[in-house]
Chain A
């Protein structure tokens, strides 16, 4: 076994508690990020699904003339972000209502007049389903005198966006706080390891080991701590996903790339924390 690897492993044996704490600290910091990642990912997915259904419905006055309808359709389709615009006649509206609400089938069938208005249903392009874009189109349609009312899910659309932003911000903040704790614990671990091996280090220098060679076991130890922390974070996130899925609501797990990213960030973090600490403490030996 190469020297650096052997020494890195012996550090885990020498101070297992500290090694364990380092792993846990990295794992928690990434777990928090993973957890919020899970939240934002699923909110994102929910938004995507809802957004696909985002429709603006402009209800038309019964007295709307074909010419006005034609004008509204031509102008409406030209508005920025509009994917398609469909005209739903009063008859179609009634047929839809009867199909949607079977239990009221008879009520609808007995009606003398069709009370439902004709409407224009607008679907937005995927990139233009933001509250702002939807509002702009809705307001433009509302301006037609023959449009009685315009409906779209303005409030919840804005709220869902806000939740996503808040979740992202909170994840960053808490994640960074945990990362700081992890960095401090790793630095302490390195310091103790350097101290425990100070005689060995001074002999290594004496006989002409390079700085890189002296540092390597510590860097490897940091790297291993990071990998373990990252994997543990991925496992914890997966556990959280299972628990949430089973008890609260059906959610999706993070895509594979995100998990790889979590482990990679953990690894890099462990490595960098060790590097900073080892450079500082080796000067003291």
Chain B
């Protein structure tokens, strides 16, 4: 579903962001992408969305390859991806319902279908009763649920989450993650970038890919006997790598 092969990514100003990154997330898998700020998590998510391209290597997502994809095909790829962010990215002047409908409207879904689909996903995230509320009237957890509903609206194959619990209190964070597990149990591939190690440790049943300084330093799936124990398994934190780039 998502396959990175020897991916290198360098930014002109800040230098190397990814160095020889390879991993393969299978269909239906839920995987954590962990690491410190600046380790390259967000860069990987951007590459998967083809908002950016590797300098070397290949990113393959649901049949689209970073080497051969054409600009006009990228929107089609993105319709197969649902993305949620730490800062929710909801439109403040639209209700929860309108925010979800927006994603459908701008991808050309029929008006008659939109109403039903919005209802279904809002129910799925447990917010059907707040459909008419504006983002400012919702709690952080509720906002993230609206964002998840929006990500699910286009019936994607993959859910990408970039620090989705970063702005939430622990209770809300658990709620959102439980939602991800539920979505995953229905067959959707989920890749979640997070530095919430407590959350990662609490779910050893899921795969962990750990990045440090742009390299994969641990992959729970590839390493039955890891060369180095993962940060997720360590009790002492590795000091943060100085980097001006975002996580």
Contact between chains at A203 and B102 (CB < 8 Å):
yes
Contact A208 to B76, CB < 8 A, known contacts A3-B105, A213-B106, A213-B108: yes
| In the complex, B117 has a CB within 8 A of chain A | no
| In the complex, B110 has a CB within 8 A of chain A | no
Stretch from B19-27, B77-85, B238-246 forming part of the interface with A = B77-85
**Cβ contact of A202, chosen from B71, B89, B102, B154, cutoff 8 A:** B89
Residues of B within 8 A of A200 (CB): 91, 102
* Most B CB within 10 A of own CB, among A3, A208, A213: A208
Closest beta carbon of chain A to B13's beta carbon, Å? 17
- Give the docked Cα–Cα distance between A203 and B51 (Å): 13
| In the complex, B75 has a CB within 8 A of chain A | yes
**Interface majority SS on A: helix, strand, loop or mixed?**
helix
Contact between chains at B72 and A211 (CB < 8 Å):
yes
- Give the docked Cα–Cα distance between A107 and B108 (Å): 91
Interface residues of B, CB < 8 Å — how many?
A: 22
Closest beta carbon of chain B to A122's beta carbon, Å? 68
Contact between chains at B72 and A203 (CB < 8 Å):
no
Q: A170-209: which have CB < 8 Å to B? A: 199-200, 202-209
Contact between chains at B76 and A203 (CB < 8 Å):
no
Q: Which residue of A lies closest to B71 (CB)?
A: A211
- Give the docked Cα–Cα distance between A209 and B150 (Å): 14
| In the complex, A247 has a CB within 8 A of chain B | no
| In the complex, B107 has a CB within 8 A of chain A | yes
Contact between chains at A203 and B108 (CB < 8 Å):
no
Contact between chains at B154 and A208 (CB < 8 Å):
yes
- Give the docked Cα–Cα distance between A214 and B105 (Å): 12
- Give the docked Cα–Cα distance between A213 and B72 (Å): 12
Contact between chains at A199 and B106 (CB < 8 Å):
no
Query: Hey, what's the 0/1 contact readout for B29-55 against A, CB within 8 Å counting as 1?
Result: 000000000000000000001010000
Contact A206 to B72, CB < 8 A, known contacts A3-B105, A3-B106, A213-B108: no
Residues of A within 8 A of B75 (CB): 205, 208-211
- Give the docked Cα–Cα distance between A3 and B109 (Å): 12
Contact between chains at A208 and B77 (CB < 8 Å):
yes
Closest beta carbon of chain B to A6's beta carbon, Å? 10
- Give the docked Cα–Cα distance between A207 and B79 (Å): 6
| In the complex, B172 has a CB within 8 A of chain A | no
- Give the docked Cα–Cα distance between A128 and B210 (Å): 88
| In the complex, B103 has a CB within 8 A of chain A | yes
Contact between chains at B91 and A209 (CB < 8 Å):
no
Contact between chains at A208 and B83 (CB < 8 Å):
no
**Cβ contact of B78, chosen from A3, A208, A213, cutoff 8 A:** A208
Closest beta carbon of chain A to B85's beta carbon, Å? 9
Closest beta carbon of chain B to A179's beta carbon, Å? 31
Query: Hey, what's the 0/1 contact readout for B86-107 against A, CB within 8 Å counting as 1?
Result: 0001010000000000110111
Closest beta carbon of chain A to B114's beta carbon, Å? 11
Closest beta carbon of chain A to B146's beta carbon, Å? 12
Q: Which residue of A lies closest to B77 (CB)?
A: A208
Residues of A within 8 A of B78 (CB): 205-208
* Most A CB within 10 A of own CB, among B71, B75, B89: B75
Closest beta carbon of chain B to A198's beta carbon, Å? 11
- Give the docked Cα–Cα distance between A210 and B70 (Å): 12
**Cβ contact of A209, chosen from B49, B83, B107, cutoff 8 A:** B107
Contact A203 to B79, CB < 8 A, known contacts A208-B107, A209-B107, A210-B72: no
Residues of B within 8 A of A209 (CB): 75, 106-107
Residues of A within 8 A of B72 (CB): 210-211
Q: Which residue of B lies closest to A200 (CB)?
A: B91
Q: A1-27: which have CB < 8 Å to B? A: 3
Q: B143-169: which have CB < 8 Å to A? A: 150, 153-154
Can you name 12 extra interface pairs (CB under 8 A) apart from A206-B83, A208-B78? A3-B105, A203-B89, A205-B75, A207-B107, A208-B75, A208-B77, A208-B107, A211-B72, A211-B75, A213-B106, A213-B108, A214-B106
Please provide the 3 A-B residue pairs with the shortest distance between their CB atoms, ordered closest to farther.
A208-B78, A208-B79, A209-B106
Pull 8 A–B residue pairs with CB atoms less than 8 Å apart, ordered by A: A199-B91, A206-B83, A207-B106, A208-B75, A208-B77, A208-B81, A208-B154, A209-B106
Residues of A bordering B, CB below 8 Å? 3, 199-200, 202-211, 213-214
